[in-house]
Structure formats: C-alpha cells, structure tokens
C-alpha cells in the first residue's frame, strides 16, 4: 500500500478526486531540512521518519482543484518527541516556502513566555541563514517576522484573543491547547483562516486533564478519524498515545506515545524516568500524562490504606513536648466538619501527625439522614467532637489551639488564605504566629509529593486516627496544565478536610524545618482584614 494512504478518510479522498503530489511533499521536506535550525543545535536538522511522513502527508495531498486537501492537522505526542520541530518547521514553510499570496502566519500560545519561545525559534532560523536574513526582518518587540518581497508576515500571539480578532490568517499553529484557559484565542484565529481558500490550522499538544475541554473533544475526534470510525477528508490526525490499561513496563507501550524513542532519547532513559516517577502518585500521574500522553484523572486514593497503617506509631505528649509543632486548620463555613491537624518535626526529616475534627449538632443530624459513614462513630473513636447548635463553634477550636501553645513548642498555625480571618486576628492578638495558605495547585504540589514520599519511606508516623485514615482513602488528586497537583474536593469520593489541614501543617513543617526559621506571617506586615 502507498505510504500516503493510511486512513479510511484517505481512501474516501481518492474516491472524491483527491490525489497525492509527491513533488509538493518532497519540496516541503527539503525546505524545512534546509532552513529550519533549532536554536539548541544551531544547524539544519534531518526530520525523523515520523516527522517526514507527517510533512509529506500534510503538503502532498491535494484536492481535485489542486489546493491543499488537509486544512487541519491535529498532532498529539508525549513530551520530548520534537514538538518544536513540528511547530517551527511548519510555520517557517508557510511563511517563506509556500505558494499562498501575502501569507500571514500565526502561532497561538497560552502565555507570553511560550509565545516568545516560539518566536525566538523562528527568528533564530531566519537570522542564521544568509539568504533568509537578507529578505526578512525580525522584530523582537512585536514578536513578528516580515518578508516584504513576499508581503509575508509571521506573528506570535499569546492568550489575548482581542488582539487576534479581525485578522486574515493563512496558517495557524496552536501550541499546547490543553493549557489554554479558554478556547477564545483558538476560535478567533481558526475563524480567521476561513477566508483563505488554502487556510491551514495545526493543533499540536500533549494530552490534558479536563475532559470537558475543547482539546479533549478535538483529541477524541481526531482519534476516531485516525481509526476509521469517522470520515473527515479535510483532517490529518496524528495521535500518538497509550492506554491507561497498558503495561507501563512494556517498551512497546512507550513507543505508542513516543515516536522519537530510540533517537531523541533511549529506552534506558525512559525506564529510569519511569522508575523515578513511581515514587509518588502525583509524579506517576504526571508521567502518564506527559511521557505516555494519557488523559489522566486520579482514580486511586492518595495514600493506600496499607501504606498508611504501616506508619502507625503513637507517641506521648512528653515525647513531643520539645519538638517544633505546626498546626493546620481547615474551617468549614457550613455544617461540615472543621479539621485541626498537628504536625511535629522530629528531626532528620521525620514527622508525627495527629488530627482532630469538630462538627455541630446540625451537621450530625443531616449526616444521619444519609447512608454515609456517621460522625458519631468517629466521635466514639475520639477523632471528632460534636458541638452544640446549628453552626460550628469556633470558640471551642480556638481554646484547643491556645491549649497547644501551653503544652508544646507551637511555631505556627496555618489557615486557608481566604477563610478564618477573624480567628487569625484573635490568635495574632494572643501572640501566635499565623500563616495563610494559598489553596492553589502550586502551593500544594511540594507538600503532596513530600507527604507521600515520607509515608512510603516510613518517616511520617501517626496515632491511628480513623477519621484521617478515612479521609485519605477518599482523597483524589487534581493536576493542572503544568503538572502541579492538589487534593480535589470535587473529584474526591467523600470528605477530605483532615487531609487538607494535615497537608497545610506538613508543608510548613517541611519548609520551615529546611530553612531553620519561621517565615514572617503576612498578617505581621499588613494586619488582618476583617470581612
């Protein structure tokens, strides 16, 4: 079979009068290999076999009128597979090597930094070649390259859709669509290619996490076309991915998502990275997503019950009295439980954890109307206190916190960045250092990873609190577009408040233990705003 007839859509295209022009295909490959120079190498490169195949299919296929058949490319691979070559090579050819009149070529990135990286790759190539340097002008301040003899222009956009509207775009390359916070930039620029009879849109991205996103829909659609489940003669789909059920240790699985494996990096490199990623759940999720190109959502609990139970080792107050204590508080604004976690730094990167929760009577009554685990069972175990009334009693929690200061070496109490400002002010007035914890992915990534490693290595001990154990089984992690992670209340199967408070306290214990000092509280600098 001819190498350019790959999918059912290719066969349909032949029936519709489309054809493959080998000269056009080879011309595009030759141009990219002659003029594109990665800034990291400084010299022209040879396309890998799969990249050459992509370029030939993209530019060789013609419709019956002679125009390009493929008006959209959807390419998805794991990272480290030469994405920059695909992006910059296509952009450079569309700008200077194609036949469209007055081409306006655009790249769309999620941030200005990423847009700048793409622009710099393009600018390096045109400046590195004497011929291209004579006919082009690279404008760094505008992230734009112009070629007056062809009336050609390239510009790197970031996620500022307003600046992109109204443009007449001949070719668009969308960088890492999974990381775009909205589809506005993509939509506005894609519509801008419609006015061109030979307009081209290329979406090049790794897998994401949001299965309600535009990118997920586009990814699945391209997969269906590639498999022959759908027919779309205008789309070139190239989806290199593995399945979550695949054996992670099988090199054949690695190659499914990594067409450059064996050239850009070795099997041994990949195996070493895989073993390192197995250290904790969040790292393995990131590895599955970025290195195996899987759409990842945490479906396993954060810490397995077996690992957690192996860390049980009660300690007495007397043993903890001289150890630095960090406290995390997750205070509910409703009738849900409030959680207080104590983390002692024992030295030599060892830690001890206790947890206690508080819930009002109204919260208990509501819980008893369901078939969910009952709060009174946790009260009987000594893990939870039930307070009177229809709202949580912060006075009892405050009294508990003040009591800790008289019994232990209390260093800091950590609260949610936005909640409990009034209690924070009251504790500050009592002379206690208070720290506010941002509730974003970046703030939780290090504590989550170190917590899991400490459990795995047996450096974290606890008193066997059954409420905290239950909450850990409920906890599911959420990854953002940059591989950062945090516990997700939405994805978790039940309450996770004790985990949130434990991670807040643990994160500060690790950070302050490493630095040897307590960071100045934000409240010391500007006081507390009461809302």
CATH no. for residue 452? 3.30.420.240
**Is residue 531 included in any domain, yes or no?**
no
Same domain, 350 and 451: yes
Domain boundary among 261, 277, 297: 297
**Is residue 333 included in any domain, yes or no?**
yes
Separation CA 352–CA 373 (nearest Å): 26
319-341 per-residue burial string, b: 16 or more CB within 10 A, e: under 16:
ebeebbbbbbbbbbeebbbbbbb
Same domain, 287 and 354: no
Same domain, 197 and 270: no
For the stretch 378-417, pLDDT in tens is 999 999 999 888 888 889 999 999 999 999 999 999 998 7
Same domain, 315 and 226: no
Is it the case that residue 524 has pLDDT exceeding 70? no
Range of the domain at 414: 305-526
For the stretch 292-314, pLDDT in tens is 999 976 556 678 888 999 999 99
**Is residue 327 included in any domain, yes or no?**
yes
Residue 185, pLDDT score: 82
Separation CA 52–CA 69 (nearest Å): 18
**Is residue 119 included in any domain, yes or no?**
yes
Domain boundary among 264, 297, 330: 297
Domain boundary among 198, 215, 240: 240
Same domain, 279 and 320: no
**Is residue 3 included in any domain, yes or no?**
no
Q: Is 90 exposed, middle or buried (0-12, 13-18, 19+ CB in 10 A)?
A: buried
Same domain, 77 and 204: yes
Show the tokens assigned to 73: 């490319």
For the stretch 490-511, pLDDT in tens is 878 788 999 999 999 999 999 9
Query: By the 8 A CB rule, do 207 and 241 touch?
Result: yes
Separation CA 273–CA 291 (nearest Å): 9
Same domain, 447 and 469: yes
The total number of structural domains that make up the chain: 3
Same domain, 232 and 375: no
Separation CA 493–CA 490 (nearest Å): 8
Same domain, 324 and 470: yes
Confidence of residue 164 (pLDDT cuts 50, 70, 90): low
**Is residue 1 included in any domain, yes or no?**
no
Mean pLDDT of the region 126-153: 95
Same domain, 289 and 403: no
**Is residue 2 included in any domain, yes or no?**
no
For the stretch 69-124, pLDDT in tens is 999 999 999 999 988 888 999 999 999 998 889 999 999 998 888 888 899 999 99
Give Cα 77 to chain centroid, integer Å: 15
For the stretch 213-256, pLDDT in tens is 889 999 999 999 999 999 999 999 999 999 988 999 999 999 99
Separation CA 444–CA 482 (nearest Å): 13
Separation CA 203–CA 325 (nearest Å): 50
Same domain, 338 and 470: yes
Residue 110, pLDDT score: 85
Mean pLDDT value across the chain: 89
Same domain, 376 and 498: yes
**Is residue 94 included in any domain, yes or no?**
yes
Separation CA 531–CA 398 (nearest Å): 19
For the stretch 165-208, pLDDT in tens is 667 899 999 999 988 877 778 888 888 888 888 999 999 999 98
């Amino acid at each position: 079979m001819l190498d350019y007839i790959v999918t059912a859509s290719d066969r349909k295209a032949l029936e519709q009068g489309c054809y493959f022009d080998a000269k056009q295909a080879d011309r595009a490959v030759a141009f990219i290999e002659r003029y594109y120079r990665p800034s990291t190498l400084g010299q022209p490169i040879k396309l890998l076999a799969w990249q050459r195949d992509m370029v030939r299919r993209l530019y060789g296929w013609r419709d019956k009128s002679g125009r390009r058949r493929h008006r959209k490319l959807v390419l998805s691979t794991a990272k480290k597979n030469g994405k920059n070559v695909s992006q910059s090579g296509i952009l450079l050819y569309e700008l200077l090597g194609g036949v469209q009149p007055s081409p306006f070529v655009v790249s769309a990135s999620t941030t200005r930094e990423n847009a700048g990286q793409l622009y710099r790759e393009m600018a390096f190539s045109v400046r590195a070649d004497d011929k291209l340097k004579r006919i082009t002008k690279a404008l760094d301040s505008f992230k734009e390259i112009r070629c007056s003899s062809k009336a050609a222009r390239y510009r790197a956009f970031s996620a500022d859709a307003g600046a992109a509207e109204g443009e007449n775009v001949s070719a668009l390359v969308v960088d890492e669509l999974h990381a775009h916070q909205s589809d506005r930039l993509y939509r506005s620029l894609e519509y801008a290619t419609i006015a061109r009879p030979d307009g081209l849109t290329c979406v090049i991205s790794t897998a994401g996490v949001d299965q309600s996103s535009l990118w997920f829909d586009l990814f699945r659609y391209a997969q269906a076309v590639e498999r022959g489940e759908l027919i779309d003669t205008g789309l070139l789909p190239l989806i290199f991915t593995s399945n979550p059920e695949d054996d992670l240790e099988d090199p054949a699985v690695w190659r499914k998502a990594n067409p450059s494996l064996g050239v850009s990096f070795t099997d041994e490199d990949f195996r070493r990275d895989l073993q390192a990623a197995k250290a904790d759940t969040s790292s393995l999720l990131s590895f599955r997503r970025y290195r195996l190109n899987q759409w990842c959502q945490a479906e396993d609990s954060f810490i397995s019950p077996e690992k957690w139970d192996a860390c049980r080792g009660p300690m007495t107050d007397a043993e903890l009295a001289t150890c630095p204590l960090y406290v995390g508080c997750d205070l509910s604004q409703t009738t849900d439980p409030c959680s207080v976690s104590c983390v002692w730094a024992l030295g030599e990167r060892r830690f001890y954890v206790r947890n206690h929760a508080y819930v009002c009577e109204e919260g208990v009554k509501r819980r008893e109307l369901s078939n969910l685990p009952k709060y009174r069972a946790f009260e009987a175990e000594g893990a939870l206190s039930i307070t009177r009334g229809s709202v949580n009693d912060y006075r009892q929690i405050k009294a508990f916190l003040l009591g800790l200061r008289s019994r232990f070496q209390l260093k800091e109490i950590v609260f949610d960045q936005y909640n409990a400002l009034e209690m924070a002010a009251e504790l500050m007035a009592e002379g206690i250092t208070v720290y506010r914890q941002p509730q974003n992915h970046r703030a939780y990534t290090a504590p989550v990873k170190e917590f899991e490693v400490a459990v795995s290595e047996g450096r974290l001990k606890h008193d066997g609190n059954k409420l905290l154990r239950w909450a850990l089984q409920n906890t599911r992690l959420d990854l953002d577009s940059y591989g950062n992670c945090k516990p997700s209340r939405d994805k978790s199967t039940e309450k996770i408040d004790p985990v949130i408070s434990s991670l807040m306290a643990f994160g500060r214990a690790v950070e302050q233990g490493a630095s040897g000092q307590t960071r100045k509280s934000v409240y010391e600098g500007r006081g507390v705003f009461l809302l």
